[in-house]
Chains A and B, each alone.
Chain A
Amino acid sequence: MAGRAPVLRVGHWLLVGVVLVWSLAPYLWTLATSFKTERELYQFPVTYWPHAPTIVNYVAVFTQNPFGRFLLNSALVTVISTVACLFIAALAAYAFARLRFRGREALLVGLLIVAMIPLITVIVPLYILVRNLGLLNSYAGLVAPYVTYALPVAIFILTAFFREIPQELEEAALIDGCTRLNTLWRIIAPLAAPGLITAGIIVFVYTWNEFLVALTLTSTNEVRTITVGIALYRGEFTFPWGVISAAVTLATIPIMVLILLGQRLVIRGLTAGAVKG
């Protein structure tokens, strides 16, 4: 590219710019909206840039609404689900990647089929189940489905990563008298750390973003997660767009940080899970 004519280079940058603006437009607009005063929000003509930037909306988010509570709920539910899911998925993925047992292929295909069953098909029975267990409006009622629905993806990604670890290392450990579980813990886990981080990020992202289950299984602000919480106070209050924009911006930040840190791993994990699953 460097050796090309300047005209082509400028053209290339323009194209990159178009791609970026298109994919970031809603966030940029939400960000701009969150810094506008109430008067500037509802005035003609629309201003593209806040003329009198203000942080009143961010203050309002934390003082007027149970936003802090939603944030805490999301954080707790997501962290617990991710850790539990990784633990269970790591065991299963090791079995799929390394152990020979009857029915292994069938189980893998079965898992893929399960991953295909849309949540909306099972949401009504799930609601009945959780209600009968008395777990509506509880963290446990959310964590259990989240762990389950993230399991297939996590298992696919981890299986792909486990398969890349050289078999010889393990065999050496086994010959030296290490047990299977010890091998998993002492040899595989440190080597599979990138895989665990990748699967962890992807599970975290899925869980943090989940909407349908949280909408159906919670009905009080005590346990509502951030996506549902924000979506619902659009109806409860009279469309305070500045405050909503500030809340949306804040709720997006954890995911941004996570993706920024794990960008390369995520891309690798997505393609590995996608192609070799």
Chain B
Amino acid sequence: MALPREARRPFSTSVAPLRRRTLADREDWLGRLMLAPALVYVVALVGVPFALALALAFSSARSGSLEFSWVGLRNFWTILPDPQFHRALWNTLRFTLVSQALVIVLAVTAAHVLSAAFVGRRLVRFLLLLPWAAPVALAAIGWTWIFDSTFSVINWTMLWLGLTKRWLYWFGEPQLATAAIIIVHVWRMFPFATVITLAGMSAIPQEISEAAVIDGAGFWRRFFQVNLPLLLPIITVAVLFGVVFTSTDLSVVYLLTRGGPYNSTHVLSSLAFQRGIFGGDLGQGAAVALFLLPVLVVVAILMLRTARRAEVGA
């Protein structure tokens, strides 16, 4: 094969540049071929549905008929003044920010406790991975039993310890329902963030900490001025993961409260699901879900910047 090819290129002056070019050409071709299956999948099952979602948000499509009739901004004019939508938007922000703030504090504290060498450290790390790895939908079911209106183990324990005098109806009062959802989100993300922070801590050279000790820095000073700044990139990554998961999650709200009581705990995803899939108003459901995008665009940008900085640092 090689010979006739050479013959077809009478103008090649030297062999070396020609070989390099053909190899580069092949890489180009092969690279695209190897990416093709992934691209086809992603375009067909994310790209197309996403374009459709945009179109749906401007249409009056209902689940019964598949006709797309263009209604312009009508879906948005319907949801924007809707108090339920305001509530969902506010809840999404609130649940995400509060739970992630708690996750940071707890994860950094726990990572410091667990970073010391002790017997059974590997077992502890394994156990910490469970809440992240095990199905959150099933864990949420476990939590509904823990928060049960009559047999709540939390209530029994708190009464027994004298921490509360009245019976708490976790899913009956908006504040308690909010607390329950945040507790489950923190529970789910904090072990994962701890494990990531631990991995980041083991990457910090021991000498830096030792140098700080020799220079006379106490525990808190070392923590705030040496360890924390060095850990910041990896903590940011853990938190961004948490933000993405918490702000888009449907299963926790859906299984714990179904948006109740009195629709006070709906988040954007559960409201979109309720309006779009249950209610059959596909256009409105799609429009509600679109409001998650700005949050995620910000997260994506932050993630890219952190990744780049981490690469420069490494």
Contact = CB atoms under 8 A, between A and B. Distances in A.
B276 A212 contact: no
Contacts of B136: 209, 211
Given A121-B289, A244-B141, A274-B237, A88 B38 contact: yes
Interface stretch (B71-79, B125-133, B221-229): B125-133
Contacts of B310: 275-276
Interface residues of B, number: 98
Interface stretch (B2-10, B112-120, B168-176): B112-120
Interface string A81-117: 0000000110110111001111010010101111011
Contacts of A152: 42
A2 to B, nearest CB: 8
A51 to B, nearest CB: 15
Interface of B: 24, 26-28, 30-32, 34-35, 37-39, 41-42, 44-50, 52-53, 56, 66, 110, 113-114, 116-118, 122, 124-131, 133-139, 141-146, 151, 153, 156, 187, 190-191, 194-196, 199-200, 233-234, 237-238, 241, 244, 247-248, 250-251, 255, 268-269, 272-273, 276-277, 282, 285-286, 289-290, 292-293, 296-297, 299-300, 303-304, 307, 310-311, 314
Contact of A16 (B124, B234, B297): B124
Contacts of A45: 156
B34 A91 contact: yes
Given A125-B48, A211-B251, 5 more contacts: A2-B117, A95-B34, A124-B277, A126-B49, A277-B307
Contact of A112 (B196, B233, B276, B304): B304
Given A255-B134, A255-B135, A118 B38 contact: no
Given A127-B277, A252-B135, A148 B141 contact: no
A122 B46 contact: yes
A276 B134 contact: no
Interface of A: 1-2, 12-13, 15-16, 19-20, 22-27, 29-30, 33, 41-42, 45-46, 48, 88-89, 91-92, 94-96, 99-102, 104, 107, 109, 111-114, 116-129, 132, 144-145, 147-149, 151-152, 155, 180, 205, 208-209, 211-212, 216, 226-228, 230-231, 234, 241, 244-245, 248, 251-252, 255-256, 258-260, 263, 266-268, 270-271, 274-277
A158 to B, nearest CB: 11
